[in-house]
């Protein structure tokens, strides 16, 4: 049931992957690598000192657990048994009839792995995982990424790889190798460059251990896709976007300031008018420059950008997948131009789950939310 990855070890690319895999096995400095969603910052999930290296490099709060990346189901099964009965951190033989993977996930794994879906699993007593991975929770999140580069890296490292997104904490997630360099230069040694990421927003996180099962973070796999799986028809949305101050989020990472460029983001909900030209003028009179990210409906050139040279406009287009793919890069580009403020045209959540994922990230990034 597992994937065979053929890798010609004599090619230059394969040598780089192999070198990165060696660093994962032996070093405590994390390695950045591409996945189909965003770039990850990886470390051997079985070694505390290596996992601590991730929190250090990112300056990530220690109570925010990491996702464990695996390249085969056997590698995952090894993590579901107590280490007293297990064969070690690498792959084990399949344990036949009594599969340790909770059956609620069978179909999801079949349909969506490898791919942008993270599932929550019970962390056994004497777990092989370093305690820093789970940040004290009794569960862990796991995913099999689709990127061949990522799969090859994990396979060659022959370790489960803990990896959050490879941005500095609070910054937009990196969707290109250069974004990782901008955030982590001097803090890490190796970035595998696989070009821009396909999806552009992180994986969907689901909890099938609760009843009913819940989506803890919207992402690359949609609510509709999940609802079509037996056992998942009544999946509930376990994250909150709009007024989330009160209750404790179930995915610990969802409570932090996140995805933010340096400039404050003004998020205009779908259907709101673009900012008035007086708004622009007031910034420009103070000698400040402005960023605009438009999507589906705001007019093509906002005219304003012609009148005012200090307005930088990025058009993400109207296709949801293009918007997701380009969003974080757009926020980072505008940061590089040192704009004082970024006005973003939001999209309708109801346009599907990738749209919901985009709006979820934008609401977390936004300092000011403008209603329609
Ligand atoms: O697409 C992705 O998922 C990317 C790539 C690199 O794979 N990774 C990623 O990791 O986004 P990170 O650390 O930025 O986000 C992990 C999310 C956080 O919201 C975290 O709180 C949640 O998953 N999470 C991890 N373990 C959990 C657990 N045991 N229970 C609930 N939520 C968990
Ligand atoms: Mg992240």
Give strand ranges (E) for 248-365: 265-268, 290-294, 311-315, 341-345
Instruction: Count other C-beta atoms under 10 Å from residue 268's C-beta.
Output: 24
pLDDT in tens, 107-153: 999 999 999 999 999 999 999 999 999 998 999 999 999 999 999 99
Nearest-atom number in ligand 1 for the CA of 205 is: 23
> DSSP per residue over 224-243, as a string?
HHHHTSTT-TT-EE----SS
Question: Residues 127, 108: contact at Cβ < 8 Å?
Answer: no
Residue 114 near ligand 1, beta carbon < 6 Å:
no
Cβ-in-10-Å burial (0-12, 13-18, 19+) of 315 comes to: middle
pLDDT band at 245 (very low <50, low <70, confident <90, very high): very low
Rounded CA-CA distance 149/257 in Å is: 30
* Position 254 pLDDT exceeds 90: no
CA of 274 to the centre of ligand 1 (A): 33
The gap from C-alpha 124 to its chain's centroid, in whole angstroms, comes to 25
Find the ligand nearest to 141 CA.
1
CA of 59 to the centre of ligand 2 (A): 12
Rounded CA-CA distance 60/4 in Å is: 34
Q: Which of 79, 331, 112, 4 is nearest to 200 (CA)?
A: 331
pLDDT in tens, 89-103: 544 444 445 689 999
Instruction: Count other C-beta atoms under 10 Å from residue 345's C-beta.
Output: 24
All domains of the chain, ordered by start, with CATH?
A: 12-253 (3.90.870.10), 265-370 (3.40.50.11030)
Distances (CA, A) of 329 to 17, 42, 115, 175: 25, 21, 21, 7
pLDDT in tens, 332-348: 999 999 999 999 999 99
pTM of the model: 0.90
């Amino acid at each position: 049931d597992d994937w065979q990855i053929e890798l010609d070890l004599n090619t230059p690319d394969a040598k780089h992957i192999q070198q990165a895999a060696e660093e994962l096995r032996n070093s405590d400095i994390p390695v950045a690598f591409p996945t189909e969603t965003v770039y990850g910052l990886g470390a051997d999930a079985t070694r505390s000192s290596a996992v601590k290296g991730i929190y250090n490099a990112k300056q990530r709060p220690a109570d925010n657990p990491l996702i464990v990346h695996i390249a085969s189901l056997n590698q995952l099964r090894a993590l579901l048994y107590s280490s007293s009965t297990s064969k070690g951190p690498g792959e084990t033989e399949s344990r036949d009839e009594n599969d340790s993977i909770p059956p609620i996930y069978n179909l999801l794994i079949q349909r969506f792995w490898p791919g942008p879906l993270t599932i929550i699993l019970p962390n056994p007593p004497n777990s092989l995982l370093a305690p820093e991975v789970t940040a004290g929770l009794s569960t862990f999140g796991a995913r099999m990424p689709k990127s061949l580069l990522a799969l090859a890296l994990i396979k060659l490292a022959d370790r489960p790889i803990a990896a959050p997104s490879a941005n500095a904490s609070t910054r937009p997630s990196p969707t290109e190798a250069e974004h990782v360099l901008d955030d982590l230069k001097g803090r890490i040694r190796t970035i595998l460059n696989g070009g821009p990421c396909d999806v552009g927003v992180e994986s969907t996180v689901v909890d099938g251990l609760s009843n009913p099962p819940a989506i803890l973070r919207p992402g690359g796999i949609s609510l509709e896709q999940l609802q079509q799986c037996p056992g998942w028809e009544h999946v509930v949305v376990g994250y909150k976007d709009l007024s989330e101050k009160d209750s404790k989020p179930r995915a610990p990472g969802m409570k932090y300031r996140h995805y933010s460029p340096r400039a404050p983001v003004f998020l205009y909900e779908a259907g709101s008018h673009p900012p008035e030209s007086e708004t622009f003028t007031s910034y420009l009179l103070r000698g400040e420059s402005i960023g605009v990210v438009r999507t589906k409906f705001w007019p093509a050139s906002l005219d304003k950008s012609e009148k005012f040279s200090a307005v930088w406009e990025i058009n993400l287009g109207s296709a949801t997948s293009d918007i997701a793919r380009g969003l974080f890069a757009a926020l980072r580009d505008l940061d590089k131009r040192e704009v004082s403020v970024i006005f973003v045209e939001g999209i309708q959540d109801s346009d599907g789950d990738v749209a919901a994922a985009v709006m979820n990230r934008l609401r977390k990034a936004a300092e000011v939310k403008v209603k329609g």
